[in-house]
Amino acid sequence: MSSSSLPSPTSLKCFVCGHKIHSTVCSSCACIHTSKKSIIDDKDRDEYEIVDNKLVCLGHSKEFCEFCTRCKTLCCKTCSSQLHSKCTKYLLPIDVAASEIHKELLSHKIDLEDFKSRIVKCMLNISDMKQLKDNQKDDVEKAYNDIFDMIVKAIESKKQQLLQIVRSDSDNIKSVKDLELKCNRELKYISEQMDLIDNSLEGQENKEIFFNRYSKCNVSRDLKTVLQEIENIMSDTSVYQLSQKKSKVFDLLLLELVSKLCPSEVYCDESNETIKEQLLSLVTYLKPQRIFKFSTNTEDERVSKKYLNDMVVFNDGCIVLTDSFNNKLKLFSCSGHLISECILEYWPFGVCIWDDDMFVVSLPNVRKICFIKHLCPMSVSHYIVTKWSYYCLTKVDNCHLVCTHCLTSKVDIVRVNNNSLTLIRTIEPDILGEIANSVCYVAITPAGDIVISDHLNDCIVCYGLDGSHKFTIKYIGKYPLDGPAGVCVDDRFIYLSEMGQSRILRLTFSGTLSGVLVPKERNLIRPKAISIGPKRTIAISNFTRQQSFIQVFQI
């Protein structure tokens, strides 16, 4: 074969090691060191052949005597001297290379056996865990069955006692029918709740937490004492955490606790409406869940206790707040993103919704109120000059506002005209008695009563639109109010932020405490302004020396 039919030496590469061949080789060697392709007859060839039970190099017809650890291939003497001249330190005798490979295979075999034993051990552990889970499931089912039987027996006993008392009162047939109907309704309700009990280990743990606390309380025949005992149980940390889980078992346990603490004779001494109101307040014990929290100040803005003076939540969930310290109005989305901000020439204070497209802001230092369009960006619609400086304000109806005076305790009810205000009535300081020289937050109840919080004098007062006094609150239970600030209402309750105790209280429209809506344990820090939002949410402003932020809770 002529040398002209072979490719140039520089174009050849070893198909095993990838190195270029820089010397002229015979046709057989060249055939081997191409990509397994013969340059002579374009046919595939093997790299070796077996002669007398020996591996012989196909290119040189010599027996393999060495192994190149770098190229991972067998070599005869010609291959070692010509093709693997750069692999001298990687060449080993065949028997030595075979011994090394054998050791490596044994090591892999040991690793595989160890891995196999670990897999078998894991399978055994999984089997044990499955068996343990089955055993625990049986224990939980047995415990639930025992509790279910106990509750059914208690219900039946209670029903028989009530029926016996009702039958003994033959003079009042209507009362008999009402009590029997109530008993059957309670029995049906509890039966329905029992159907909703989840057979889980968490349910069993919840029951143990609740009844451990219940076993420490005193059984009493007085309904007020019973309610106080239950309120004490609610204040316990473990029971509070249980209530936060919104467990279906929780309401059922509370009903059972009421029936055990309050014997049947107590129900006969109270009116049906009173019992219904008290039990409804207990069974519907609110368990607020925080939806999100967001900061309202940027790094370049100053922060002080005046930072969030007032705020309001629109029906679409957007939050508008006033920043008197930086002379700004800020509009946040329902998820806490800053949509728009407006820098004002004068510092704003109070804010309230006027209609779907506009809100009202008070400017006390220039005796004006400003109507601002609820758009992005926010824009001023018009100003109205006022006779007095107003701090907080709230809307009564489509044409009336209630405004608190700056640095006095007066409260004005005004009619809003096109470009002026008409005074309807002023609630004077001598009518309010102890309230004087304080910034007051106001809210309007569904019945049209004005609820006023006085932060300086630590009290809450309520007046009708005609100026008639409704109630005054200075104490919650036996403890005085500690820094009441923001106040808002919905169709059921009055909500009050207490800065000193860092919590949100819930009051009835008659002024009695209905419970703590958001306790201090929910990471409130000196809550100030509050506002009710859509889908039963409440927004709460908080502030520290370094930061101001808003938390939104689902109630």
Instruction: Choose from 185-189, 273-277, 289-293 the range with maximum mean pLDDT.
Output: 289-293
Q: What is the DSSP letter of 458?
A: T
CA distance 73 to 404: 96
Closest CA to 227 of 274, 161, 158: 274
Angle subtended at Cα 442 by Cα 439 and Cα 445, rounded to the nearest 5 degrees = 165
Residues 194, 195, 198, 199: what is their CA dihedral angle, to the nearest 10 degrees?
90
The residue that leads in pLDDT, 228 or 451, is 451
State the pLDDT at residue 188.
Answer: 65
* Domain boundary assignment for the chain: 48-131, 168-284, 289-554
Give CA–CA dist 151/155, Å, rounded.
Answer: 6
The pLDDT score that the predictor gives to residue 10 is: 46
pLDDT confidence band for 384 (50 / 70 / 90): very high
Predicted pLDDT at 216 = 47
For the chain, the distance separating the N- and C-terminal CA atoms, rounded to the nearest angstrom, is: 95
The pLDDT tens digits of the residues spanning 454-487 come to: 877 788 888 888 888 888 888 776 677 888 889 9
- Residue 53 above 90 pLDDT? no
Q: Using the Cα atoms of residue 30, residue 34, residue 37 and residue 39 in order, give the sign of their dihedral.
A: negative
**What φ, ψ does residue 20 adopt, rounded to 5°?**
-75, 150
pLDDT-derived band at 444, boundaries 50, 70, 90: very high
* Average pLDDT value for residue range 521-539: 85
Q: What number is the average pLDDT over the span 58-83?
A: 83
Task: Please give the full DSSP string across 399-410, using - where no structure is assigned.
Answer: TEEEEEETTS--
Q: What are phi and psi of 444, to 5 degrees?
A: -115, 130
Greatest mean pLDDT range, 187-191, 310-314, 527-531: 527-531
> What pLDDT sits at residue 218?
46
Q: Rank 26-40, 98-112, 180-194, 465-479 by mean pLDDT and report only the highest.
A: 98-112
Tell me what the mean pLDDT of segment 85-107 comes to.
84
Average pLDDT score, the chain: 73
**DSSP code, position 236:** S
Cross-strand partners of 328 = 323, 343
Please state the rounded mean pLDDT for residues 212-232.
51
- Contacts of residue 91, Cβ cutoff 8 Å, sequence gap at least 6: 66, 67, 68, 69, 75, 80, 84
Instruction: Report which of residues 33 and 53 the model is more confident about.
Output: 53
Where residue 160 falls among pLDDT bands split at 50, 70, 90? confident
Q: Which residue has the higher pLDDT, 428 or 365?
A: 365
Residue predicted with more confidence, 464 or 12: 464
The CATH class of the 289-554 domain is: mainly beta
pLDDT at 416 over 90: yes
C-alpha to C-alpha distance for 118 and 128, rounded to whole angstroms? 15
Task: Please name the residues in contact with 188: beta carbons below 8 A apart, sequence gap of 6 or more.
Answer: none
Picking from 365, 371, 444, the residue whose alpha carbon sits closest to that of residue 407 is 365
Q: What is the pLDDT of residue 226?
A: 55
Amino acid at 300: D
Cα–Cα dist 186/275, whole Å:
13
The whole-number pLDDT of residue 201 equals 38
Nearest to 535 by CA among 313, 337, 351: 313
Band of pLDDT at residue 401, cut at 50, 70 and 90: very high
Residue 421 pLDDT more than 70? yes
**% of the chain with per-residue pLDDT over 70:** 63
The torsion angles phi and psi of 127, rounded to 5 degrees, stand at: -65, -40
The first and second tokens of residue 156, run together, are 């039946």
Residue 6 has pLDDT above 70, yes or no: no
Residue with tokens 């309001």: 312
Angle of helix 248-261 relative to helix 223-235, nearest 10 degrees, comes to 140
**If pLDDT is split at 50, 70 and 90, which confidence band does 74 have?**
confident
pLDDT tens per residue across span 478-506: 677 888 889 999 988 999 998 888 889 88
44 vs 197, higher pLDDT? 197
Span 250-269, mean pLDDT? 51
**Which of 437, 444, 431 shows the shortest CA–CA distance to 472?**
431
Intrachain domains 48-131 and 289-554 with the same fold:
no
Mean pLDDT of 53-71: 80
pLDDT of the residue at 221: 44
CATH 3.30.160 fits 48-131, yes or no: yes
Q: Is the peptide bond before 377 cis (omega within 30 degrees of 0)?
A: yes
* Mean of pLDDT values over 63-83: 84
Closest CA to 15 of 45, 54, 51: 45
Per-residue pLDDT band for 360 (boundaries 50, 70, 90) equals very high
What pLDDT does 381 receive?
A: 86
Distance between CA atoms of residues 426 and 250, nearest Å: 48
Residue 542 binned pLDDT confidence (cut-offs 50, 70, 90): confident
